[in-house]
Structure 1
Amino acid sequence: MQTMIYDSDAFCVLQLDWSGAQASQDGAEADLSRGGYEIVDKFARKEIFLGGRAAEGFRHSVQQLIAQEPSSEEIDDFLDRYSALSRQSLQAH
């Protein structure tokens, strides 16, 4: 199952759950050993998948960010740090 948890002009974040269980809206119930997060940088046309401990760290960082009630620009700046990790360009077929 894929759940879009963020979408802007610059980024899209999907929560992926392969266990078949429905994730809660905040992702707190998700079993990240059977899924993770996909971050798509729309401008750079790149994506990165975070699973396991990286996904747990991402979720924790997002929860801290959201508690500060950030603007869309601040969220995009936060996601841009993860986008820099991507080496694979997206290609349409």
Structure 2
Amino acid sequence: MYMLYDSPSYIVVQFDVPVAPTAGDTAHAARSEVTPPSLQRDGFEIVDKVSRKEIFIEGALAQTFQEGVEALIEQGPDVEDLDAFISQYANLGHQPVVMH
């Protein structure tokens, strides 16, 4: 877990989500006598501090988010630019933030 961004409006945390190998992956590894690479897939948790909602994205949506952030960073954005981009994804969140 890595905190990537923290502004007055949003927090973005990156998670490494392990992907369990399938039976086909295991069978292929046994036939080839090669250890299969460990599978990882990034996921991002986006917390909207104002609305107190969060969303966890992974897969293709997470990849699109990451590429968008990287493109934005190349432009030298300010906090408002980053918050505007993040809000597009945060608005998808419906899960209330619960402290425990």
**TM-score above 0.5, yes or no:** yes
Instruction: Write out aligned runs for 1:55-70 (5 A).
Output: 55-70=62-77
Matched, 1:90 2:97: yes
Alpha carbons 1:3, 1:16 under 8 Å: kept:
yes
54-63 vs 31-40, which moves further: 31-40
Match of 2:49 among 33, 38, 42: 42
Q: 1:83: Cα distance to partner?
A: 1.0
Q: Paired residue for 1:7?
A: 6
Q: Larger radius of gyration, structure 1 or 2?
A: 2
Structure 2 residue identity aligned to 1:65: L
TM-score, scaled relative to structure 2: 0.73
TM-score, scaled relative to structure 1: 0.78
Secondary structure (helix, strand or coil) at the match of 1:34 reads strand
| CA distance, structure 2, for counterparts of residue 34 and residue 12 of structure 1 | 20
The Cα RMSD (Å) is 1.9
Gap regions ≥5 residues in structure 2:
19-37
Gap regions ≥5 residues in structure 1:
20-30
Q: 1:34: Cα distance to partner?
A: 3.2
Identity of aligned residues (%): 43
Q: Paired residue for 2:61?
A: 54
Residues 32 and 75 (structure 1 numbering): CA distance in 2 closer, same or farther, change over 3 Å? farther
> How many residues of Structure 1 are paired with residues of Structure 2 in the alignment?
81
Give the helix-richer structure, 1 or 2. 2
Secondary structure (helix, strand or coil) at the match of 2:95 reads coil
